[in-house]
């Protein structure tokens, strides 16, 4: 398995439902770390102790059994070992501990119990269902407990390592910090490690039939490879992604049918392992009633002397346009960015029809100027077709309007847009932005 071959300092498994995260990935890694750092103390982080003991620990044991480790022989749980070496960190309570024959101990920790990790010094960390954890709590309370026994283990990439697993079926905003770990991956370094590890496996296989003289040379090379791998892994971040299709031979038809019943979006994210795009808080969590206004008399928010700011979306099924002006509403003392109207056309109509509707509605407008706001999605090349922004500009000019182009550059990703809009809605820095207001009759 590539995850075990890469053996990074920090590993994040973004694996879909039915991929065997716990039994097939976490358990083998636990066994490796237990052997690599004899006597060290490791953290098994969970939502609460009940979740750990009913959902996580049984699966870990099953995975360890598949790796050849036997409960009561190679490790014990919930009881102090009788004659094995002790953990380097003193353990007083054993009911939530898994102790190995070399003294390595895995201690259960619940994030639901504040400060439960503070009393320990951990040298490695494991966590399943990481999507449920709050970033600030983990980074503020759990990560600082990764410490201790530097003199014994600092030279090892397993020292202070993290191995965290989850599927992606969660609120996009809340797991964005986990998805962003992909930006920290050095793909070239990962590939070098992978190729070195493959070469190491080949040499170890050849070693089984090698002569004594050949064995000495091979062992010398293996030692060099291990030294290089150790250095490469010391600061390595690795993100592994897998869908249920990668484990299709172990999942029956009934399982697939059951998953498909859960809905298209859940199936795409939880099973096919596509990135989530939805937030349970809605896309505008900071939107309040103060942002909307009632048109107390027709056109009270409209000034025929001012130009418009417009923006469009370029979907196949609908072509929407927002009409905006910056002005003082009759009841306000300061100018606001007012969404006063919207227009749209449904397929088979399109962009030009929407613009015609706008121009017809405001045919008697005195200042026939629009500031057209667009990003890179409007300027991309299209096969045998005009650029979208050219269609927009030409149609306004055809209707007798002047266009000021306002190019905003590369489209922000989902999270950046969310944060930008949330910041504007919160109005924490009114001197930086015009407050946003919506005509609750025309826009909502």
Query: If we measure between CA atoms, which residue out of 187, 206, 173 comes closest to residue 421?
Result: 173
* Contact partners, residue 383, CB within 8 Å, separation at least 6: none
Confidence check: pLDDT of 309 > 60: yes
3-state secondary structure the chain: CHHHHHCCCEEEEEECCCCCHHHHHHHHHHHHHHHHCCCCEEEEEECCHHHHHHHHHHHHHHHHHHCCCCECCCEEECCCCCCCCCCCCCCCCCCCEEEECCCCEEEEEECCCCCCCCCCCECEEEECCHHHCCHHHHHHHHHHHECCCHHHHCCCCCCCEEEEEECCCCCHHHHHHHHHHHHHCCHHHHHHHHHHHHHHHHHHHHHCCCCHHHHHHHHHHHHHHHHHHHHHHCCCEEEEEECHHHHHHHCCHHHHHHHHCCCHHHHHHHHCCCCCCCCCCCCCCCCCHHHEECCCCCCCCCCCCCCEEEEECCCCCEEEEEEEEEECCCCCCCCEEEEEEEEEEECCCCHHHHHHHHHHHCCCCCCCEEEEEECHHHCCCECCECCHHHHHHHHHHHCCCEEEEEECCCCCCHHHHHHHHHHHHHCCCCCCCCCEEEECCCCC
Options 3.30.420, 3.40.1350, 2.40.50, 1.10.10; CATH for 289-439 is 3.30.420
354-382: pLDDT as tens digits: 999 999 999 999 999 999 999 988 887 66
pLDDT value for 216: 93
Averaged over 406-420, what is the pLDDT?
78
Of the listed ranges 43-57, 76-90, 355-369, 412-426, the one predicted with least confidence: 412-426
State yes or no: cis peptide before 69, omega within 30 of 0.
no
44-54: pLDDT as tens digits: 999 889 889 99
Confidence check: pLDDT of 281 > 60: no
**Distance spanning both ends of the chain, measured CA to CA:** 52
* Contact partners, residue 254, CB within 8 Å, separation at least 6: none
How big is the chain, counted in residues?
444
Mean residue pLDDT across the chain: 90
Contact in structure between 23 and 63 (CB atoms under 8 Å): yes
> How is the chain split into domains, by residue range?
2-257, 289-439
Please state whether 409 falls in left (phi above 0), alpha (psi between -120 and 50) or beta.
left
pLDDT value for 426: 79
Strand-pair category, 41-46 with 105-110:
parallel
Confidence check: pLDDT of 256 > 80: yes
Angle at 239 between CA 177 and CA 231, to 5 degrees: 115
Give the rounded percent of residues in the chain with a pLDDT score beyond 90: 61
pLDDT value for 191: 96
pLDDT value for 288: 72
pLDDT value for 249: 86
pLDDT-based confidence at 433, cuts 50/70/90? confident
pLDDT value for 320: 92
CATH code of the domain occupying 2-257: 3.40.50
Of the listed ranges 124-133, 189-198, 211-220, 380-389, the one predicted with least confidence: 380-389
Of the listed ranges 63-72, 268-277, 424-433, the one predicted with least confidence: 424-433
List Cα–Cα distances, 89 to 123, 148, 162, in angstroms.
10, 9, 19
CA distance 395 to 382: 18
160-182: pLDDT as tens digits: 999 999 999 988 878 888 999 99
The structure tokens listed for 208 are: 């089984």
pLDDT value for 414: 65
Q: Bridge-partner residues for 436, per DSSP?
A: 337
Give the rounded percent of residues in the chain with a pLDDT score beyond 70: 96
pLDDT value for 283: 55
Contact in structure between 1 and 25 (CB atoms under 8 Å): yes
Place of tokens 């008697």: 364
pLDDT value for 412: 76
């Amino acid at each position: 398995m590539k995850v075990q071959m890469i053996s990074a300092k920090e590993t994040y498994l973004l694996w879909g439902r039915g991929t065997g995260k716990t039994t097939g990935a976490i358990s083998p890694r636990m066994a490796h770390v237990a052997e690599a750092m004899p006597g060290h103390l490791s953290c098994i982080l969970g939502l609460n102790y009940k979740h750990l003991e009913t959902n996580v620990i049984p699966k870990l044991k099953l995975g360890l059994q598949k790796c050849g480790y036997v409960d009561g022989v190679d490790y014990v749980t919930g009881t102090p070992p009788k004659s094995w070496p002790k953990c380097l960190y003193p353990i007083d309570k054993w009911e939530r501990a898994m102790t190995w024959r070399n003294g390595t101990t895995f201690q259960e920790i619940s994030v639901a119990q504040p400060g439960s990790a503070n009393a320990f010094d951990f040298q490695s960390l494991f966590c399943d269902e990481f999507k449920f954890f709050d970033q600030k709590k983990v980074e503020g309370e759990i990560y600082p407990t990764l410490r201790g026994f530097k003199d014994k283990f600092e030279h090892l990439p397993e020292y202070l390592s993290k191995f965290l697993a989850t599927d992606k079926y969660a609120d996009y905003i809340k797991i964005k910090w986990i998805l962003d770990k992909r930006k920290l991956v050095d793909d070239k370094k990962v590939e070098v490690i992978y190729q070195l590890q493959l070469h190491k496996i080949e040499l170890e296989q050849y070693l089984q039939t090698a002569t004594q003289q050949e064995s000495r040379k091979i062992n010398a090379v293996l030692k060099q490879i291990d030294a290089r791998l150790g250095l490469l892994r010391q600061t390595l971040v690795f993100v592994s992604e897998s869908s249920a299709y990668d484990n299709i031979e172990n999942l029956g038809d009934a399982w697939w049918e059951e998953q498909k019943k859960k809905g298209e979006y859940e199936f795409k994210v939880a099973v096919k392992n596509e990135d989530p795009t939805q937030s349970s808080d809605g896309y505008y969590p900071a939107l309040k009633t103060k942002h909307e206004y009632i048109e107390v008399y027709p056109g009270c928010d409209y000034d025929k002397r001012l130009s418009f700011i417009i923006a469009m979306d370029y979907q196949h099924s609908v072509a929407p346009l927002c009409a905006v002006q910056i002005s003082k509403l009759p009841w306000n003392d300061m100018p606001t960015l007012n969404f006063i109207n919207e227009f749209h056309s449904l397929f088979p109509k399109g962009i030009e029809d929407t613009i015609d509707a706008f121009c017809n509605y405001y045919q008697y407008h005195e200042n026939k100027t629009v500031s057209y706001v667009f990003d890179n999605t409007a300027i991309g090349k299209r096969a045998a077709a005009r650029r979208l922004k050219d269609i927009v500009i030409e149609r306004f000019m055809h209707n007798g309007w002047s266009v000021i182009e306002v190019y905003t550059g590369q489209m922000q990703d989902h999270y950046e847009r969310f944060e930008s809009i949330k910041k504007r809605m919160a109005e924490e820095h009114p001197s930086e932005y015009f407050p946003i207001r919506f005509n609750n009759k025309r826009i909502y």
